[in-house]
Amino acid sequence: MKPSIREPQLDLMPEEVDFPDEDIRTQVWGILTTLYPHNRAGERRHESRYPFPYLVHLTPVGEDGLTPCGETLVVVGKHLSERGLGFYHPQPLPYRRMIASLEAGNGQWIGFLIDLSWCRFTRKGWYESGGRFLQSVLSPIKPSA
C-alpha cells in the first residue's frame, strides 16, 4: 500500500480577506519584474549567490597584498558566494585589493583578501562593486566583547 499525500483540512484564511486592487498589483509586479527578470540569458556565474544585506568592512592593503594600510570603510553587502562578494558604496574606491571583514556572530570577524574586479555607477548616486576572494586572512576588525 502506497502512502498518500493529503491536502490540509484546515482553512486558516479569514473569511474576509482584503486583496490589493488591480492598480497596486500591477505596480508591484512592474517593480518585481524589473528587479527579477525571468530571462537570465548570459548569466556567467557558476556558483550560487545569496542575498547578503549586511554591513561589510573593507580595509585597504599595502603593496605586499596582506598588510592592512589606510582607513577601513563600511559598505553594504548585496550578494555573497563561495568565490566572492558584491556590495554597494557611496563613493569610488581607489583600491584594487582590500580585506573584506564579515561579522560571523558572537562579535567575531572573518577576513578575506578580495580582488575588486568591477564597479558600476547606479542611477541613484551609489556605486555597485564586487570581486573574488583570493584567500582567507585575519580580519583587522577587533572582536567586540
Dihedral of CA 47/116/100/126: which sign? Answer: negative
| Contacts with 117 (C-beta within 8 Å, 6 or more apart), sequence order | 130, 131, 132
- Pair 59, 98: CB distance under 8 Å: yes
Whether the per-residue pLDDT at 120 is higher than 70: the answer is: yes
pTM over 0.85: no
Nearest to 97 by CA among 127, 58, 128, 136: 58
Give per-residue pLDDT as tens, 82-118. 889 999 999 999 999 999 999 987 788 999 999 999 9
Short-list 55, 57, 54, 77, CA closest to 138: 57
Cα separation, 62 vs 144, in Å, equals 25
Tens digits of residue pLDDT in 54-63:
999 999 999 8
The pLDDT confidence band at residue 66, using thresholds 50, 70 and 90, is confident
Q: How far apart are CA 85 and CA 53, in angstroms?
A: 11
pLDDT of residue 9: 47
Residue of higher predicted confidence among 125 and 33 = 125
